[in-house]
Amino acid sequence: MNKGRKITGGKYHSFRKTKLFERAGQPRLVVLGETRRKYLRTRSGDRKFVLLKENRVNLIIDGKTRKAEIINVEETPQNRFFARQNRLMKGAIIITSLGKAKITNRPSQEGCVNAIFLEK
């Protein structure tokens, strides 16, 4: 089947262009490394801080928050190859200076990395 063609061979014509808010943004891949952020202009002129690289985590241990260094990414539930690339994403198991932890937020959306403590 030809893309964009009717069964008779005629073309399909779009009735309008894609609006700016309908377009897909660039994929934001948060990687382990020295902290780098950038901000994006969002709708109505607001700002959203986006994380590109991070090496620190806000770690919750027994209800108290502590900062820790991220040493390595052990595994990611989405794809095992993401752990090899040291990508930080929700659900990833990371090794910190205090022990193992699980990332609970979406770093590419929020501009920081939050995690809960699992074990030493």
Judge whether residue 1 has pLDDT over 60: no
pLDDT at 114: 97
DSSP summary character for residue 7 = T
Q: Within 10 A of 116 (CB to CB), how many other CB atoms are there? A: 11
pLDDT digits (tens, 9 = 90+) for 23-76: 888 888 999 999 999 988 888 899 988 899 999 999 999 999 999 999 999 999
Cα 41 → chain centroid: 18
pLDDT at 60: 95
Q: What is the pTM of this model?
A: 0.80
Torsion of CA 21, 36, 110, 46, to 10 degrees: -50
103 against 15, higher pLDDT: 103
pLDDT digits (tens, 9 = 90+) for 9-35: 899 988 899 998 888 888 889 999 999
pLDDT at 10: 92
Question: Burial code of 12-45, b = ≥16 C-beta within 10 A, e = fewer?
Answer: eeeeeeeeeeeeeeeeeebbbeeeeeeeeeeeee
pLDDT at 40: 87
pLDDT at 20: 85
Average pLDDT over every residue of 74-98: 95
Confidence at 119, pLDDT banded by 50, 70, 90: confident
Domains along the sequence of the chain with CATH: 28-119 (3.10.290.70)
- The whole-angstrom separation of Cα 120 and Cα 101 is 9
